[in-house]
Amino acid sequence: MNEYKAVNRPVRKKDAMALVTGKPVYCDDIAPKDCLIIKLLRSPHPHALIEAIDTSIAEKVPGIEAIFTYKDVPNNRFTMAGQTYPEASPYDRLILERRLRYVGDPVAIVAGENEKAVDKALKLIKVKYEILEPILDFTKAKDNAILIHPEDNWASLCPVGADNKRNLCAHEESENGDLEKAFSKCDVIVEQTYHTQANQQAMMETFRAYATMDVYSRLTIVSSTQITFHVRRIVATALGIPKTDIRVIKPRIGGGFGAKQTAIMEVYPAFVTYKTGKNSKLVFTREESQTASSPRHEMEIKLKIGATNDGIIRALDMYTLSNTGAYGEHGPTTVGLTGHKALALYSRAEAYRFVYDVVYSNVMSAGAYRGYGATQGMFAVESAVDELAHKLDMDPTKLREINITKEGDVMPAYYGETANSCALDRCLDKVKKMIDWDNKYPAKDMGNGKIRSVGLALAIQGSCISNLDVGSVALKVNDDGFYSLMIGASDMGTGCDTILAQMAADCMCCDVDNIVVQGVDTDSSPYDSGSYASSTTYITGMAVVKTCASLTEKIKKYGALLMGWDANDVDFNGKEVYKISSDEKISLKDIANSSMCNSTNALYASEGHASPVSPPPFMAGAVELEVDKETGKIELIDYKAVVDCGTVINPNLARVQTEGGIGQGIGMALYEDINYNDKGVTRSNSFMQYKIPTRQDICPVEVEFEPSYEPTGPFGAKSIGEIVINTPPPAIANAVENAVGVRIRELPITSEKIFRGINNED
């Protein structure tokens, strides 16, 4: 039975009714009407130098306020990656630059009174390009004679193995155990190469921000971002101005999924307003969001995995090549998850090795997308484990049962952390029952040209960046005893404001309605590294628990002071402070109101939290599908998922996270693919050419939870936001092999690839 009043309950999101009635709460809804409209002139070439640029005619267009080129911007390199300083991502950008590194790289910033004037001016800017040979194939980038970042002031602030003279954004090697010896014992080895494509997060609200100058002559940026505090630092670095001069505000945002963990475009309105003193805004078109943004890193993963005939996995060896594109945002960090997370599913193996390279190329810069490298690694590992099972002539779920990480196991690949909370075995067991695995595996001929099969995959993620992420909140008592919870984490629609209020409500023994929350403002919100790395529930949630404990002490002390009681003889039950040794009490209402009259006691607390560990959530996903033997077409029949995210703080929101992540994973598995032509131009430049699933493409999805209790998490909670995207690509690939014996190692799993496989082409 649930011991909590708010936690583990399906509380409605605090902003829900505003959202469903269409209230104007997003960036462009609240932007001042007099904003200058900003647009960017973009490079038509994947690799070029600006030889000459003439804006004189364009500037004469009536209504044009300013046009900026590389000649006008500071020479301060920076990264747009939303990461804790010093960032792992290299400082390899300028606001505008002579060298252009992908089709879409900004050439000029145009600001004017209206869109028509700006459009006209864009056409009148004369640019002469020196066209350079590009690197469009990332497998040829390392040590290529063509250098994408030859500049002298390129800088890597962290020891990530980067070298701009080798087109290398990061490199690392790690291993544990005697790999050679472990492989020598193996009876069966699978060694394959897996390829995962770049995907767009495709949140419904495109990138956007506006800037104004406030009454104190400070630059205020209102941005649709996941990284409110990092935006302040990024803009200050790019513009070369003090951080004191910048304030960043996050209103409601229309989805992020990691895309808005990079400050893709905030520097442009910031620069325009800084230069002109006028309000300005930049709203990316969908085309810009599709072609000049921060998609998932394309990766090629070579994986060798070996087992003995008894089904014991002995060794895993992974090499990942990751394509960071034109710039290095999140390049050095996403890649680590391919091995450090995915290999940790099978921590009982005697030895592992994990090596990676991250390379620059002349396509759009990659970034953070839900799953953050783990998704790519999981596709390789969970595909290879099925291949291994087939070679061993074993049911793949049996092979997993033998080898998966269990509670209490040390996970060498996962930085040697111990799985203190792990219900992966129960997740696997439950999902098998839900999909009726034992009766359905591997497949059934439906007699109508279709084969129906099942496929399964496991997943792991983290709950924060250990020893790095910081979450803090502040809580204060207001008139009559209601609370304001001030949060620095950026709710991007997932409901973290509500979840944190639920935790605070249980800590303060009150109703969730008694706690009010606000969006993020760097001037007034307590510091939070941001909403990414699945960290908000785990890290910021713990900050809530600590802050509430601290405020409770203050309330108790002040109540005792008011009543003249011994502070050690009182307790607080949410409504009143009472004396333990008698039945005397004073209400919170009286305490709160007294604190506002001739009082020197601020009933206010703020605590921060960081964690030395990042406890992984675990998950099992299983798909049932049909393959049309004649066309290779897949029809999804059912998807079942069981998640161990520790204590489920809000079952409704956790369920929707899971369903939504599976939906995105299905898109990635089946058709989403950022496609370039041989000139380096993205064909996937709209929702017409880059198809995300519609509701007709999603089969019924059933989600269950199999909670463990994480001792270091708030109320025993871990994370859920990212792990949920990881199972569909390998589960579907595995089901396809179970259906028609075709193994697809290159995403997306299209009908055509399956058809070719069935007919032994390629």
Partner 1 sequence: MEIKLWINDKLITDNVEPDMPMLEFLRDKGCLSVKRGCETSNCGLCTVWLEGKPVLSCTMPLMRANKKHITTLEGLRKEAAEFGAFLADEGADQCGYCNPGFIMNVLALERDIEDPTDEDIKEYLSGNLCRCTGYTGQFRAVKKYLAHKRSVKADE
Partner 2 sequence: MLRCNDYIFAESLEEAYKLNQKKNNVIVGGNGWLKLRKRQWGTVIDLSGLGLDKIDENDEEFRIGAMVCLSDLENHKGLDKYTCGAVKDSLKHIVGTQFRNTVTVGGSIYGRFGFSDVLSIFMAMDSYVELYKGGIVVMSEFAKMPYDRDILVNIIIKKKPLKIGYSSFRNQSTDFPVVTCAVAIGEGRIATVVGARPSKADIRTDSAEALEDINDYAIKTAKSFDYQSNMRASAEYREHIAKVLIKRTVERIINN
Q: Give the binding site for partner 1 (CB under 8 A).
A: 10, 12-13, 15-26, 29, 201-206, 252-255, 257, 285-287, 492-495, 650, 652-653, 655-656, 659-664, 666, 686-688, 692-696, 698, 700-701
211 in Cβ contact with 221 (< 8 Å): yes
Rounded Cα gap, residues 674 and 690, in angstroms: 7
User: Closer CB to partner 2, residue 426 or residue 633?
Assistant: 633
**Distance in Å, CB of 397 to partner 2, minimum:** 30
DSSP E strand stretches across 113-257: 126-131, 168-176, 188-196, 208-213, 219-223, 246-250
List the single partner that 480 binds among partner 2, partner 1, none, CB under 5 to 8 Å by kind: none
Q: Tell which positions 634-673 bind partner 2, by CB under 8 A.
A: 670-671
Distances (CA, A) of 606 to 377, 497, 540, 552, 559: 38, 16, 12, 12, 19
The number of residues that bind partner 2 (CB under 8 A) is 19
List the single partner that 655 binds among partner 1, partner 2, none, CB under 5 to 8 Å by kind: partner 1
320 in Cβ contact with 338 (< 8 Å): yes
**Binding flag, residue 697, partner 2 (CB under 8 A):** yes
Positive or negative torsion for Cα 312, 318, 324, 329: positive
**Distance in Å, CB of 39 to partner 1, minimum:** 14
**Distance in Å, CB of 435 to partner 1, minimum:** 16
Total residues belonging to the chain: 762
**Distance in Å, CB of 720 to partner 1, minimum:** 12
List the single partner that 662 binds among partner 1, partner 2, none, CB under 5 to 8 Å by kind: partner 1
What is the distance, to the nearest Å, from the Cα of residue 431 to the centroid of all Cα atoms in its chain? 25
**Distance in Å, CB of 716 to partner 2, minimum:** 40
User: Closer CB to partner 1, residue 338 or residue 490?
Assistant: 490
List the single partner that 252 binds among partner 2, partner 1, none, CB under 5 to 8 Å by kind: partner 1
List the single partner that 10 binds among partner 2, partner 1, none, CB under 5 to 8 Å by kind: partner 1
**Distance in Å, CB of 95 to partner 2, minimum:** 27
Q: Tell which positions 612-631 bind partner 2, by CB under 8 A.
A: 630-631
Task: Give the H/E segment covering residue 65.
Answer: strand 64-68
Q: Tell which positions 740-759 bind partner 2, by CB under 8 A.
A: 750-752, 755-756
**Distance in Å, CB of 650 to partner 1, minimum:** 7
| Residue 326, SS3 per DSSP | coil
Task: Look at the block and give the residue holding tokens 């995959």.
Answer: 457
Positive or negative torsion for Cα 462, 389, 354, 359: negative
User: Closer CB to partner 1, residue 721 or residue 757?
Assistant: 721
Rounded Cα gap, residues 377 and 384, in angstroms: 11
The only residue of 193, 244, 573, 675 in contact with partner 2, by rule CB under 8 A: 675
Residues 6+ apart with CB under 8 A from 433: none
**Binding flag, residue 683, partner 2 (CB under 8 A):** yes
User: Closer CB to partner 1, residue 253 or residue 413?
Assistant: 253
- The candidate with the shortest Cα–Cα distance to 500, out of 546, 465, 467, is 546
User: Closer CB to partner 2, residue 217 or residue 694?
Assistant: 694
Rounded Cα gap, residues 444 and 453, in angstroms: 6
Rounded Cα gap, residues 528 and 136, in angstroms: 37
**Distance in Å, CB of 464 to partner 1, minimum:** 22
**Distance in Å, CB of 286 to partner 1, minimum:** 4
**Binding flag, residue 195, partner 2 (CB under 8 A):** no
DSSP state of 433: H
List the single partner that 653 binds among partner 1, partner 2, none, CB under 5 to 8 Å by kind: partner 1
Rounded Cα gap, residues 611 and 350, in angstroms: 28
DSSP-assigned beta bridge partners for residue 250:
520
List the single partner that 671 binds among partner 1, partner 2, none, CB under 5 to 8 Å by kind: partner 2
User: Closer CB to partner 2, residue 511 or residue 630?
Assistant: 630
List the single partner that 594 binds among partner 1, partner 2, none, CB under 5 to 8 Å by kind: none
- The candidate with the shortest Cα–Cα distance to 511, out of 117, 98, 4, is 4
- The candidate with the shortest Cα–Cα distance to 302, out of 195, 435, 142, 378, is 195
The only residue of 328, 396, 693, 721 in contact with partner 2, by rule CB under 8 A: 693
The only residue of 142, 426, 633, 743 in contact with partner 2, by rule CB under 8 A: 633
Distances (CA, A) of 158 to 2, 294, 333, 378, 636: 45, 21, 11, 27, 44
**Distance in Å, CB of 540 to partner 2, minimum:** 37
Rounded Cα gap, residues 739 and 632, in angstroms: 11
- The candidate with the shortest Cα–Cα distance to 181, out of 7, 333, 350, 44, is 350
User: Closer CB to partner 1, residue 20 or residue 597?
Assistant: 20
- Applying CB under 8 A, which part among 295-303, 340-348, 687-695, 715-723 lies near partner 2? 687-695
Task: Give the H/E segment covering residue 660.
Answer: helix 651-670
List the single partner that 16 binds among partner 1, partner 2, none, CB under 5 to 8 Å by kind: partner 1
List the single partner that 680 binds among partner 1, partner 2, none, CB under 5 to 8 Å by kind: none
**Distance in Å, CB of 678 to partner 2, minimum:** 12
322-358 b/e (C-beta count within 10 Å ≥ 16 → b): bbbbbbbbbbbbbbbbbbbbbbbbbbbbbbbbbbbbb
User: Closer CB to partner 1, residue 11 or residue 404?
Assistant: 11
User: Closer CB to partner 2, residue 396 or residue 632?
Assistant: 632
Rounded Cα gap, residues 751 and 534, in angstroms: 33
Which positions lie near partner 2, rule CB under 8 A? 630-631, 633, 670-671, 675, 683, 688-689, 691, 693-694, 696-697, 750-752, 755-756
